[in-house]
Structure 1
Amino acid sequence: MSVTNKQWLGLPLNLIWGYIAIAFFMTGDGFELAFLSHYIKELGFSPAEASLAFTLYGLAAALAAWVSGVVAEIITPQKTMLIGFLMWCIFHVLFLVFGLGHANYAMILLFYGIRGFAYPLFLYSFIVAIIHNVKSDSASSAIGWFWAVYSIGIGVFGSYIPSFTIPHIGELGTLWLALAFCITGGVIAQISLRHIATPRHMQNLTTREKLSELTRAVTLIYSNRNIMLSCMVRIINTLSLFGFAVIMPMMFVDQLGFTTSEWLQVWAVFFFTTIFSNVFWGVVSEKLGWIKVVRWFGCIGMALSSLAFYYIPQHFGHNFAMALIPAIALGIFVAAFVPMAAVFPALEPRHKGAAISVYNLSAGTSNFLAPAIAVLLLPHFSTIGVVIAYTVLYIVAFFICPFIHVEQPGFSTKPECAAESAQLS
């Protein structure tokens, strides 16, 4: 299997249309992210009920993320992305017609929950395509671009477009428009990725051997200590991203007087910032070291910016300009965790698909755990209690990082943090 040498600032040019497909698909998937919880509340349901819908969605996403890496290696990334694409379209329509359209909470939970299985199959399978099409010492930059186009889709266009369409066609009409973007992304992916290098080493495995490889995505967590610790750090990575999408619309709109469009634009600025910070940290981590960047800029940066995202708007009230400051800070530092996607396969070079599945499981678990924390803490400690919980977990991740030993390809030093870990243990 060949890997590409043709890159532009770390972007593998043979996969460029795949990156574009991710941007389109995640634009459609991201339409709902910053307003759906508030819209469900407007339909007559409580904030806890709205958070529960996101929790079930996140649980489904975590399960799908877990299997996506191995499945993509077994049946190819292209076929796995097709399955995710078709599932998303079918259950999105059912969610809109029978769930939101009839304000039926049971149908909202059912179809939104099932749709949660879809996007990780499409999204995370592309990481497998990246890993098998770029050199390992360039993986961090290539994955930095992956998260950049993810941010362009789910965050920038996914937030800005609804901020303009909701006043004209409403929330439900905007969610119908999302379908067009996901269809576009799905079609581009199927056409453009037909001839890329794909993993072939599992094609001839027996069914039993394939199931064994699938279970390895779980067993790696306790058989490889470094994978387990990396998993914990990756789960903590996006707690504020997924959690703030649920709790902050209620604080900004209901408490501080922002309009839904203003809140969506604040959230879009956060994601717009990550376009550049994802690429930046991907490149920088290949110079400074993966874990060093994650620890000092990711963990500490996210702890401080998460607190700022609450306290600055609370202090200045309905002040759009001041609200952008913590949004930009959050966008800078959340991307400092980008190297984690390169850490996992480097820790298990003989089982890259299983390692990526654990990475994806961690990302999906974050999607589940963030609103779950909100469900548990909101009734008792309000928004600030949730924010403090996220902040404490980022500090915990800071202390976990020194114990992760990974050999970084092309890096001139010894395995990262080995000496520091020896001193701490």
Structure 2
Amino acid sequence: MNQGLLGKLGLDTKMAVGFLGVLLFMMGDGLELGWLSSYLIDNGLSMQQSALLFSVYGFAVAIAAWFSGVLAEVMGPKKVMTIGLILFVVGTLIFLLVGIPTMNLAIMIPTYSLRGLGYPLFAYSFLVWLSYYAPQERLGTAVGWFWVSFAAGLNVLGAYYSSFALPYLGEMKTLWSALIFVAIGAFLAIYLNKDDGSNRRTFESKLDMFKYISKGITIAFERPKVGLGGIVRTINTAGAYGLVVFLPAFMMDVGFTRTEWLQIYGALWTSNVVFNLIWGMVGDRFGWRNTVMWFGGVGCAVTILGLYYVPFFLGPNYIATTIMAIIFGACVAAFVPLSALMPSLAPENRGAAMSVLNLGAGLSTFVGPAIVGLFIGTVGTVGILWIYSSLYVVSAILMVFVTLPKESKEKVKAVKIPAVQ
């Protein structure tokens, strides 16, 4: 890696351009997440229809995330990222030109789902490229930077941009502006960030190619540690995604305003973005598995309960609740070293291992809200948070068994990691 400022941060010029591209692409993808559902309901869809639209979208995300790793190895990351870009643009064009104006679910569901296929193919294929390009001893730092870019674009900058753009542009023009961010991001990540193709596999026949694609499924059974890692990744953000379904009502019952809750939630994800990088560096120095197990699993199990008990006992104490949200967001980020650990568990099938990890990321968007739907009527807010807390404890226990192969462990230990400045 090049030295200088970027080198000290665990980057080089090639990486930095790619990360900026991912950030802008995800910003375009995520700018509507906080308000599109309410807009569609206000303009003719029922709550059930809106839920169906986003459920199918989430299913598309999970499928694309699952196969992004092996496709990146079969076709090359650059080509798969380009396919993701095309699907996103085509889906957006039809969704905005025909779907929303007619409010026809038969058009809206498949076209919005094309958007859902687009971003995992783009972003997670870049992550596979990164797992080959970055040196083993700095891989945790590199994937930390990836998740900084990913989360900052999807969960933070997109939402903040919409908060400023909507009053001036309106909903439709704001949605159209997503294509600008996506186009610039793709240009940076695909065309300025040249892929040398060194991580693309060659196959003697199409049968061999399809057998390898199936690795995105079978690797979880052939390498049980990879399967366990996928389960841990599912638990990772299930709680964070589930919160938005039920916690706002609790917070406002306690006495917070809607604006205060949104600021608290924004602080959670801003903290998550910052600590995505910090935990990557910590994982490189003190162990990927230990970081995930203790700071991720155990940390989330404790801090997610604080989101209930702090306002329950202290009332609408904005500062105390914001601090608790910041700590929880930091603990959610402590799962970042999984992105370095998983490909190291199956070094000869890195793309397949990353596909399992990506599937877990996609499934978390189902699991979190599904738990709310199944149990909120019987156990209430505090019961849901205890379920999430228990799942985080389970993730910590599973990490006991997710150990590196001896040869990979020795390779990492043999390299002296420079101290984080």
Q: What TM-score, normalized to structure 2?
A: 0.87
Q: CA deviation at 1:107?
A: 4.0
Please list the CA deviations of residues 211-233 of structure 1 after superposition, one character each: whole Å capped at 9, or x if unmatched. Answer: 11110111111111211111111
Could you tell me which of 403, 406, 409 is aligned with 2:404?
Answer: 406
Distance 1:253 1:176 in 2: 33
- Write the deviation string for residues 254-275 of structure 1: whole angstroms up to 9, x where unpaired: 986634x655443332222123
CA shift, 1:200, in A, is 4.8
Verify the 8 A CA contact 2:136 2:412 in the aligned structure 1: no
More displaced stretch, 388-397 vs 89-98: 89-98
Describe the SS at the equivalent of 1:62.
helix
**Residue 227 of structure 1: aligned partner:** 226
Q: CA deviation at 1:63?
A: 0.8
Take 1:94 and 1:79, find their aligned partners in 2: how far apart are those partners? 23
Moved over 6 A (4+): none
Equivalent residue for 1:111?
111
Between stretches 163-172 and 270-279, larger displacement belongs to 163-172
Q: What corresponds to 2:162 in structure 1?
A: 162
The aligned counterpart of 1:199 is: 198
Provide closer, same or farther for how the CA distance between residues 272 and 305 of structure 1 changes in structure 2, counting only shifts above 3 A: same
Whether the 8 Å CA contact 2:91–2:115 is kept in 1: the answer is yes
3-state SS of 2:198 partner: coil
What's the offset of the Cα at 1:26? Answer: 0.8
Residue 149 of structure 2 is matched in structure 1 by 149
Deviation digits for residues 166-221 of structure 1 (CA, Å, limit 9, x no counterpart):
34444444333323211221222232122x33335523442111111110111111
SS of residue matched to 1:10: coil
Partner Cα separation in structure 2 for residue 357 and residue 37 of structure 1: 29
Conserved 8 A contact 1:65-1:357: yes
Query: What do the CA deviations read for 1:270-316 (whole angstroms, capped 9, x no partner)?
Result: 22212321111111112211111111110122122222334445666
SS at match of 2:305: helix
TM-score scaled by length of structure 1: 0.86
Q: Per the alignment, do residues 317 and 159 of structure 1 end up closer, same or farther by CA in structure 2, a change over 3 Å counting?
A: farther
The answer as to whether partners of 1:38 and 1:250 remain within 8 angstroms in 2 is no
Are positions 1:26 and 2:29 aligned together?
A: no
Residue equivalent to 1:140 = 140
Aligned to 1:286: 284
For 1:343, which of 341, 344, 352 is the aligned residue?
341
Contact 1:312 1:322 in 2 (8 A): yes
For 2:69, the equivalent position in structure 1 comes to 69
Tell me the residue number matched to 2:417. Answer: none
For residue 269 of structure 2, what is the aligned residue in structure 1? 271
Aligned-pair identity in percent equals 35
Q: Secondary structure at the match of 2:400?
A: helix
> Unpaired segments of 5 or more residues in structure 1?
414-425
* Counterparts of 2:264 and 2:28, CA distance in 1: 19
Deviations 1:79-128 (A, max 9, x none): 11111112112212333344444444454433323321111000100111
Which AA in structure 2 matches 1:120?
A: P
**CA spacing shift, 1:191–1:311, aligned 2, 3 Å:** same
Instruction: State how far apart, in whole Å, the 2-side matches of 1:384 and 1:42 are.
Output: 31
Which amino acid in the other structure matches residue 221 of structure 2?
Y
Q: How does 1:295-314 map to 2 (within 5 A)?
A: 295-313=293-311
- 2:385 maps to 387
CA contact (8 A) 1:237 1:337 kept: yes
> What is the Cα deviation at residue 359 of structure 1?
1.3
Amino acid at match of 1:274: N
Structure 2 unaligned spans of 5+: 415-421
Per the alignment, residue 10 of structure 2 pairs with: 10
Please tell me whether the aligned partners of residues 78 and 193 of structure 1 are also in contact (alpha carbons under 8 angstroms): no
Select between 181-190 and 384-393 the one with higher mean Cα deviation.
384-393
Matches within 5 A, 1:20-99: 20-43=20-43, 50-99=50-99
